[in-house]
Amino acid sequence: MIFEKRSTRTRMSTETGFALLGGHPCFLTSQDIHLGVNESSTDTARVLSGLSDIVLARVCSHSTLEELVKDASIPIINGLSDLYHPIQILADFLTLQEHYGSLSGLTVSWIGDGNNVLHSFMMTAAKLGVHLRVATPKGYDPDSSIIQEAQRLSKQHGTQLLLTSDPVEAARGSNVLVTDTWVSMGQEEEKKQRIKDFHGYQITMQTGSVAKPDWTFLHCLPRKQEEVDDQVFYSPRSLVFLEAENRKWTIMLECVTRLVQVGCGVNSVTTRFAQTPTHIAAFGGHTECLLWLLQAGADINRQDYVGETPIHKAARADSLDCVNALLIQGAKAE
């Protein structure tokens, strides 16, 4: 784990998730490893490839990530760059899938900065059949090349993409209202000007009055009150804490996916708990992760260290969706 930028959710979800899978996370900050300073990114990538099985890199510049990917012989996961934040979007869409039951046809409204999280939304939404309505202040637009690609994807998949500077227009008819920090790490000197420029972009119940009756709210955190008021943030409409929890399950899925692609097995037990990833997903009630593991070849009836199969784990955790998924896939109910 290479972290040029500090984090709560990315670090905790990766460390706890990878440990649950039986891995041994090693955390390196910018004080421990100076990418491209004391050692070139090329050399660092080759060294890490010989000492680890997978790397999650949370970097300042996307070019650093590209250099690591180019020279590494192991999987590299984008834990955040200045251009994209894909693992956040995985958690966001899992949260919406769990809440609404389906993603196709949903309308998501982004009201805020044209930043890396928005970029990842724009590159993903259309592929999932999600309509996207974006409101950013003038001068804070998303990257022009990403706009072009998002427009192409929207046309290809038959979804709608709206770009505006009017938050009310963006929120109208939406299922989901999303925002993010107005002042990212490294932009502290711009704070006063940014808060002035983002006036009128706070998400409130008034913002939601033009959205669908069942509208919900997402924020990748940490949150400031000028971005969304307490009435929305702590309301039943807010899915932010489930969204934060889902960071763990999606990073586990991403790690397993990448490791399987390079030859690791989905039926390997963890060293600490003697459970497979399938048992862990079943016990946690995370159906999407469980189904992917089964599709990748996980043993549906394999027992763990206390003689329980995944269906036992799911039943004991009262994870009915996982129980049904396992039964449909052919698990033994005994």
**Alpha helices, DSSP H, located in the chain:** 9-20, 41-51, 62-71, 86-100, 116-124, 144-157, 167-171, 191-197, 205-208, 230-233, 240-261, 277-284, 287-295, 310-316, 320-328
- Told to judge if 289 belongs to the known catalytic residues of this protein, a careful annotator would answer no
Contact 322, 249 (CB under 8 A): no
CA dist list (Å): 256 to 54, 88, 99, 150, 170? 10, 17, 24, 28, 36
- Residues 220, 255, 289, 322: which is the catalytic one? 220
- Partners of 126 in the β-ladder: none
Structure token digits, residue 216: 């919900």
Contact 77, 255 (CB under 8 A): yes
- What sign has the CA pseudo-torsion 58, 64, 67, 71? negative
Contact 107, 130 (CB under 8 A): yes
In whole angstroms, give the CA distance from residue 76 to residue 78. 7
Sequence-distant (≥ 6) Cβ neighbours of residue 60 within 8 angstroms: 4, 5, 81, 82, 186
Residue type, 155: K
Tell me how crowded residue 83 is: count the other CB atoms within 10 A of its CB.
Answer: 18
In whole angstroms, give the CA distance from residue 111 to residue 128. 20
Contact 8, 222 (CB under 8 A): yes
What are the residue numbers of the active site?
A: 220
